[in-house]
Amino acid sequence: MAPGDGRRRGRRRSKVRLSRLYSFACGRRPTAVDDESSSRIGGPGFSRVVHAHADASSAAGDPGDPARPAYCSNSVSTTKYNAITFLPKSLFEQFRRVANIYFLISAGLAYTGLAPFRSATAVAPLLVVLSATMIKEFIEDWRRKQQDNEVNNRKTKVFQHGAFQCTKWMNLQVGDVVKVEKDEFFPADLILLSSSYEDSICYVETMNLDGETNLKLKQSLEVSSNLQEDESFNSFRAVIKCEDPNPHLYSFVGNIETQGQQYPLSPQQILLRDSKLRNTEYVYGVVIFTGHDTKVMQNAMKVPSKRSKIERRMDKIIYLLLSSLVLMSVIGSIFFGIATKDDVQDGRLKRWYLRPDDSTIYFEPNKAAIAAILHFLTAMMLYGYLIPISLYISIEIVKLLQARFINQDIHMYHEETDTPAHARTSNLNEELGQVDTILTDKTGTLTCNSMEFIKCSIAGTAYGRGITEVERAMAKKKGSPLIADMDINTEWFQPEGKTAIKGFNFTDERVMNGNWVNQHHSGVIEMFFRLLAVCHTCIPDEVNKVSGKISYEAESPDEAAFVVAAQELGFTFYQRTQTGVYLHELDPLSGKQVDRSYKILHVLEFNSARKRMSVIVKNEDGKIFLFSKGADSVMFERLSSCENEYIEVTQQHINEYADAGLRTLVLAYRELDEDDYVNFDRKFTAAKNSVSADRDEVIEEVADLLERELILLGATAVEDKLQKGVPECIDKLAQAGIKIWVLTGDKMETAINIGYACSLLRQGMKQITITLDQAEIIALEKVGEKAALTKASKEKVIEQINEGKEKVKNASAGEAFALIIDGKSLTYALEDDVKDMFLKLAVGCGSVICCRSSPKQKALVILQLVYIRAS
């Protein structure tokens, strides 16, 4: 990892997530946002125009070139201050503290006759405190500046004067054609033109943007995929029209016009700054957004002025001390005024030794009121030591020492990635000990995000004899020693002498080693394995010289597990091009491997809204098939009612897999008539070529019409093992009084069982379950009366929340509760007139599990919890 990238990761990632949460919570589709440069070109919306060509004058950045609009430079700054603003901004930061304002006023009054001490005595402590804090701020910001300089001075290859030449990132301009090589960061937001792979795909790591370690698959348009040699760029010309700069990482709308034709662009072709090229030798791309117009910088907020709880609490204490100081000074001044007025009595001086007759206005008996007011100011300075100015400097020193201890903590060193702990700012160290609630998802946090194919259901028959971690934990809970004591490591399943295969932990003699051809539903099994081998976006990486097996690169570990499983069961995917996939299939008639090819006509990609992925392919016989895989909640409603005899038993198997903590997907297919496909292709192509704001919705509508009347094949079940030490960690957190909320898309049964496996749900903990899977609600769903269903569902949720609150209220000391709520109930629990009741119940529980929750619901839960904590 290059210097500076890790520092930005946390800040950008948190801002990116907040941006996504805000969009989800508002229930709106991300849209383009205005910026100064876009308004110069033609206003907000769809007005970014990029002239992608590589002649020398353009590469030199001629300002007068009409093909080079005045977009912002590619130099970025993430510093809090600059040479001009450092002094005023840092002083403003210091005088946000109440005590500093007080000492500043005292220092000013110290130069008047009111001061009971020398002026240096008042000024010196203030200067020491301000200087020490400002020096710390300067050093931290200077480090940011150095890291910015390192990033801006990185080298990349730009096409200039007929060849690719090295230049600094800061010199890149919109329209430049660049070459990025393996393991390099992208210097700006690029449109992918071609790559080292024949089908012009590449893999991208976006960990610095969204924290995800899975590689993302990108693929260029076919029209630019032939750009491979330097000479081919001499004649390359294109005009790209796209959305304005905006912070939305997962959306992009635009088109590219080249060779007299116009082609639609999608997020599949955009490479974002600060993401890294992986497992690809090189890519070529054209710059569309630079500097602060890039999506990552649109998400990077300015360095905030962070003030911890301790600092804010200190301000409250200072207010209290200051109030006491004012009270003391007022009382003293009143008595001083009375005594001063009584100094002259019957023409005689009562306190002649003080010589009030020779005094100034400060002790003038004839002007006692004014003397009392001035004495008040003197008293405020004299008693000023009640305000601990040294406390601030002491805390700053403690913060610096804590940061040093964190940086040297060997127990926080991650050996696999050679990453030590690094406190990049010392302002928030003390917040670490004040965490009372942890919100987490499941995949990649509680689990390893390393999937293994372990079970499946095909044609109503369950296959796979593995035992999962969750099943083992549940056996322990129920006191069943037979399963609980089993060693469930991968080796337990492997035949003697056979090594474990990453992503494949399946064993069943009925289908392995080609035995599936003897099964009653061998034709369905064949189509099931074929779908696993075809319906994906993986690419073959390399062949193991010892085993002869192919390894794969995939966007997600689920897909890699499916392709590996297909390979192990006789359907080896070995090649992909832009237009087809190629398999070695086990022929059930001859029992030998035969080569088969499938032409890819369209790929309907997976997303969180669709919850499914489909591919349309044509086989060698000219038959067109739609292969689809997705969540059971969306797939079962798309099945044909007349050709699916395994629905009920497959659903039962899926429920059993869910109870075992497995991730399930339903597999189905459909054979398409030529007329049906031609009609779909016309509508789908028109939707993709559209540049309107609702393009994604139109594409989804067209795809949804085709993904109907599917024939069920079965379901897959993969295991995502718990991370090492998760149960022990959660148990320690619970002992420390920290509450844990898990927001997951799993079914309730799955989430509960995983909760037991990772100690989120513990023995003796009472469960409060809020669900709408109840007889009266299910009956209303079947009737289809939406108004009555909505009313009854909301009333049921409120009733269950109130029952839960009563249980918590009447609980004995030390009794712990766990709240479990499903996605349907969460919809009503988060409504404006119910959310306060729900959150008060949730905050009173030791563990909270939100099951079947959508991304929008996860966002709303987080936002509501943040709001209730802040208030």
Alpha-carbon span 515 to 250, nearest angstrom:
44
Residues whose CB falls within 8 Å of the CB of residue 630, separated by 6 or more in sequence, listed in order: 606, 610, 611, 612, 613, 665, 666
Alpha-carbon span 793 to 530, nearest angstrom:
42
Q: Is the pLDDT of residue 490 over 50?
A: no
Active site residues: 441
Q: Is 663 annotated as a binding residue?
A: yes
pLDDT digits (tens, 9 = 90+) for 367-394: 778 888 888 888 888 887 788 777 777 8
4 versus 472: which is more confidently predicted?
A: 472
- Average pLDDT on 449-468 reads 91
Averaged pLDDT score across all residues of the chain: 81
Q: Is 858 annotated as a binding residue?
A: yes
Q: Is 12 annotated as a binding residue?
A: no
- Average pLDDT on 187-214 reads 84
- Which secondary-structure segment (H or E) carries 262? strand 261-265
499 versus 161: which is more confidently predicted?
A: 161
Alpha-carbon span 288 to 654, nearest angstrom:
46
With vertex at residue 705, the alpha carbon angle to CA 699 and CA 711, rounded to the nearest 5 degrees, is: 125
Task: Please name each of the domains of the chain with its CATH number.
Answer: 5-76+151-299 (2.70.150.10), 390-434 (no CATH), 447-719 (3.40.1110.10), 724-870 (3.40.50)
- Strand 437-440 versus strand 739-743 pairing type: parallel
Q: What pLDDT, on the 0 to 100 scale, is given for residue 871?
A: 64
Q: What pLDDT, on the 0 to 100 scale, is given for residue 285?
A: 92
- Strand 201-205 versus strand 215-219 pairing type: antiparallel
248 versus 491: which is more confidently predicted?
A: 248
Q: Is 443 annotated as a binding residue?
A: yes
Q: What pLDDT, on the 0 to 100 scale, is given for residue 414?
A: 79
What confidence category does residue 4 fall into, taking pLDDT thresholds of 50, 70 and 90? very low
Packing angle between helix 389-407 and helix 119-152, nearest 10 degrees?
30
Q: Is 744 annotated as a binding residue?
A: yes
Q: Picking from 112-116, 383-387, 683-687, 737-741, which range would have the lowest pLDDT averaged per residue?
A: 112-116
Q: Is 559 annotated as a binding residue?
A: yes
Residues whose CB falls within 8 Å of the CB of residue 38, separated by 6 or more in sequence, listed in order: 44, 47, 48, 244, 245
Q: Is 625 annotated as a binding residue?
A: no
- In degrees and rounded to multiples of 5, residue 240 shows phi and psi of -110, 125
pTM: 0.69
Alpha-carbon span 76 to 91, nearest angstrom:
25
Q: What pLDDT, on the 0 to 100 scale, is given for residue 481?
A: 56
Q: Is the pLDDT of residue 533 over 90?
A: yes
Strand ranges of the sheet holding 766-770, from the earlier edge strand across to the other edge? 437-440, 739-743, 847-850, 817-821, 766-770
- Average pLDDT on 136-152 reads 87
Residue count of the chain: 871
Q: Is the pLDDT of residue 718 over 90?
A: yes
- Average pLDDT on 537-566 reads 83
